[in-house]
Amino acid sequence: MHNKACRQLVKCESLKHIAGSMDICIAGYQNRVATLLETATELRLYTLEGKDVVRSGMTAMPTAGPCALPSSLKSMGVEIVICGGLSKIVHDGFEAMGIQVISWVKGPIEAVLKAYIEDAMDTMIMPGRARRTTP
Amino acid sequence: MSKHTGLPDNISLESVVDSVAEGIFTVDLDWTITFFNQAAAHITGVSVSEAVGQKCWEVFASSVCDGACPMQPCLERGESVLNKSGFILSADGEKVPIGMSSSPLKDNEGNIVGGVESFRDLSSLHQLIQKVEERYSVEDIRTNNPNMIRTLQILPPIAQSTSTVLLLGESGTGKELFARALHNLSLRKDEPFIAVNCGALPGNLLESELFGYKAGAFTDARKDKPGRMELAQGGTLFLDEIGDMPLPLQVKLLRVLQEKVYEPLGGVKPIDADVRFVAATNRDLEQMVADGTFRQDLFFRLNVVRMDIPPLRDRTEDIPLLINHFIRQQNSLKGKSISAVSERVHQVLFQYEFLGNVRELENIIEYAFILCSGEMIEMEHLPEHLKPQKAEVRDQCDPRLPSHVAGMADHKRHAVLEALEKHNGNKSAAARELGISRDTIRRILKRSAAKHVNRVKKVRHNKSN
């Protein structure tokens, strides 16, 4: 399963040259956005061209933990990370890598992806938390 | 009075639950929040109206929500969970430690209809534990050891004075850390702190490094070069390994300490030395004075304020504190989230002799970080020399048995003897090969000789009885 996901990732990598494409990552747990980035069990990766998903893949969280995630996702070419809550230290790591983070997101992954494409993320933010986008 | 709760009729159960300090919420079988008290709102930062009707994991942003929820056994099997620990993430990304308990909610027929969870903010308790764990710290130096605490208590007033300080302690005890603390707490803290290792350079090079030279002082001296003394003007000059300074240079240093002036190589005009001196060594300077290898007058000049830094084996109560410190340090350097060392690793580190002192412990944790990819440093992540041999496994499981320490000491003695034999008794060459100092070799041999004498005495005593 993991190898298959990696192969899919490689395919995603090969799409980076496509003009106007964008790689995003959603940190998930059992088909929904994980409550916290550090408790996510899977990373769903999508390549978007305009409003179309042209490639999707999945990989596991790095064994070195969430602190290793910014550099790992950067090397995969990910530009935007959508996740639940995340600690300040990891948030700062993404900021340093120039990766945009949309945090405190809730809901099923497919619904979140749709909301992102339709620019309706405000409807997917956890109660009591303001949407935080970096940088 | 209410039949069910025993409360007066004009007091609702909800108002009682709202007045407690613990956060309490209930969920139905679909994990939707049906009740959320005021304390829960306060701890999570989510208002009651925002929380009720939402899935609990969307409100309670905690480390247990994905896969370790204490409510799950309640809803699925009717089992209660007590005192589970975790953390919730505040809106600004800070971790708030919490303790939580869950129980199933049942209707009158005994059917499970939901669950109730109570949780409390443990931040103040954690802060208290941290304070108890770390009784005393100055700058980057942390300790629980009474002797070290006494030393650290006098450090700030010593730092504020202008007196020369002599730091004595084995290799790796943190002499430079003390020197930096003395500088940082002094009135010279905004001026330079310059460190010179007197054992690292041959005499003539050390002299030019320390005092600088003028153009034409020797072949190839085409222009003036400032020495460390000049670079440290107004600040602190830390002379590490002062015991290794050659005798001719000791005379020159003595003059600086006495007259507060120095002359660079090739210079004809004395320069004022506005420098505070801190010297350090792991050697026995008094013995060196007696042997004639260190000048007595310089020793007295340096020994104005003397600070003895105990070796790690004499302050074992600091081992857990230092382990935690190095884990935190390595986590931020390596981007890992290792939380602790296992109980077995603790036992092994407690019994270890740490001839390399705090630096050796730091190296062990750094080594373990390379191999450990989880949250806990286990035995397999330790360097080979710390892993017990099969025969020692039994002893290692019982921290009361000292034979593991003895085994480690024997192992070191063998290594030293082998290296000495290989280099025809040359201690410097053996020390280089083993990566330890000559003094460490001397200590290992001294200790094993003392053990041998004790054994002989014991045998003689037994025979005479």
For the segment B43-96, what is each residue's pLDDT rounded down to a tens digit?
Answer: 888 889 989 999 999 888 888 898 888 899 999 989 998 878 788 887 777 788
- A6 vs A47, which has greater pLDDT? A47
Q: Judge if B111 and B208 occupy the same domain.
A: no
Cα A69 to Cα A74: distance, rounded to the nearest angstrom: 8
Cβ–Cβ < 8 Å for B273, B256: yes
Specify whether B207 is located in the same domain as B296.
Answer: yes
For the cut 50, the answer to whether the pLDDT of residue B456 exceeds it is no
Quote the pTM value. Answer: 0.50
Does residue B97 share a domain with residue B23?
Answer: yes
Q: What are phi and psi of B411, to 5 degrees?
A: -60, -45
Q: How does DSSP classify residue B62?
A: B
Task: Please report the beta strands in B67-125, taking only residues with DSSP state E, as ranges in sequence order.
Answer: 81-89, 95-106, 112-121
* Domain CATH code at residue B365: 1.10.8.60
Architecture of domain A2-134: 2-Layer Sandwich (3.30)
Does residue B39 form part of some domain?
yes
Give the best residue of A26, A35, A124, A125 to mutate against chain B (max B CB count within 10 A): A35
Give the domain CATH number at B417. Answer: 1.10.10
How many whole angstroms separate alpha carbon B356 and alpha carbon B362? 10
Looking at CA atoms only, how far is residue A67 from chain B in angstroms?
5
Same domain for B52 and B114: yes
CA distances (Å), B146 to each of B62, B265, B317, in order?
39, 46, 10
Which residue among B292, B310, B328 closes a domain? B310
Q: For residues B83 and B138, state if they share a domain.
A: no
Rounded mean pLDDT, A95-122: 93
Identify the domain boundary among B334, B358, B387: B387
Best CA proximity match to B294, nearest among B200, B205, B198: B198
Q: Residue B307 has what pLDDT?
A: 92
Report CB contact under 8 Å: A36, B62.
yes
* Per-residue H/E/C for chain A: CHHHHHHHHHHHHHCCCCCCEEEEEEEEECCEECCEHHHCCEEEEEEEECCEEEEEEEEECCCCCHHHHHHHHHHHCCCEEECCECCHHHHHHHHHHCCEEEECECCEHHHHHHHHHCCCHHHHECCCCCCEEEC
Q: Do residues B420 and B289 both lie within one domain?
A: no
Number of helices (H) and strands (E) in chain B: give both, helices first. Answer: 20, 18
| Residues in chain A closer than 8 A to B337 (CB atoms) | 38, 65-67
Alpha carbons within 13 angstroms on the beta-carbon side of residue B21 total: 5
Mark whether B287 and B342 lie in a shared domain. no
Pick A129's closest partner by Cβ from B91, B331, B374.
Answer: B91
Percent of chain B with pLDDT over 90: 32
- Report CB contact under 8 Å: B61, A35: yes
At B418-429, the pLDDT tens digits run 778 777 777 877
B51:A128 CB<8 A: yes
Is the CB of residue A31 less than 8 Å away from at least one CB of chain B?
no
Reduce the DSSP state of residue B122 to 3 states and report it.
Answer: coil
Considering chain A, what percentage of its residues have pLDDT values greater than 90? 39
**Residue numbers of the domain that contains B455:** 405-464
Identify whether residues B253 and B290 lie together within a single domain: yes
Please indicate, yes or no, if residue B7 is contained in any of the structural domains: no
- Cβ distance A87 to B44 less than 8 Å, yes or no, reads no
Integer CA distances (angstroms), B293 to A59, B296, B298, B301, B445, in order: 66, 9, 11, 16, 22
Q: What percent of chain B has pLDDT over 70?
A: 85
Chain A contact for B320 (CB, 8 A cutoff): no
Confidence of residue B276 (pLDDT cuts 50, 70, 90): very high
B163's CB contacts (< 8 A; 6+ apart) are B304, B305
Q: Is B286 found in the same domain as B242? A: yes
Average pLDDT, chain A: 81
Query: Would the CB atoms of A87 and B51 count as touching at under 8 Å?
Result: no
Domain boundary (B69, B104, B123) is at B123
Looking at the complex, report in whole angstroms how far the Cα of residue A36 sits from the nearest Cα belonging to chain B.
7
Q: What is the mean pLDDT of residues B208-214?
A: 87
Q: Domain tally for chain B?
A: 4
pLDDT digits (tens, 9 = 90+) for B350-404: 889 898 999 999 999 999 988 887 778 888 899 988 887 654 444 444 433 344 4
Best residue in B36, B62, B66, B92 for a mutation probing chain A (most A CBs within 10 Å): B66
B109 touches chain A (CB under 8 A): no
In A, minimum Cα distance to B61 occurs at A35
Please report whether residue B269 resides in a domain: yes
Which tens digits make up the pLDDT trace of A22-42? Answer: 899 999 998 999 999 988 989
ipTM for the whole predicted complex goes beyond 0.90: no
Mean per-residue pLDDT of chain B: 82
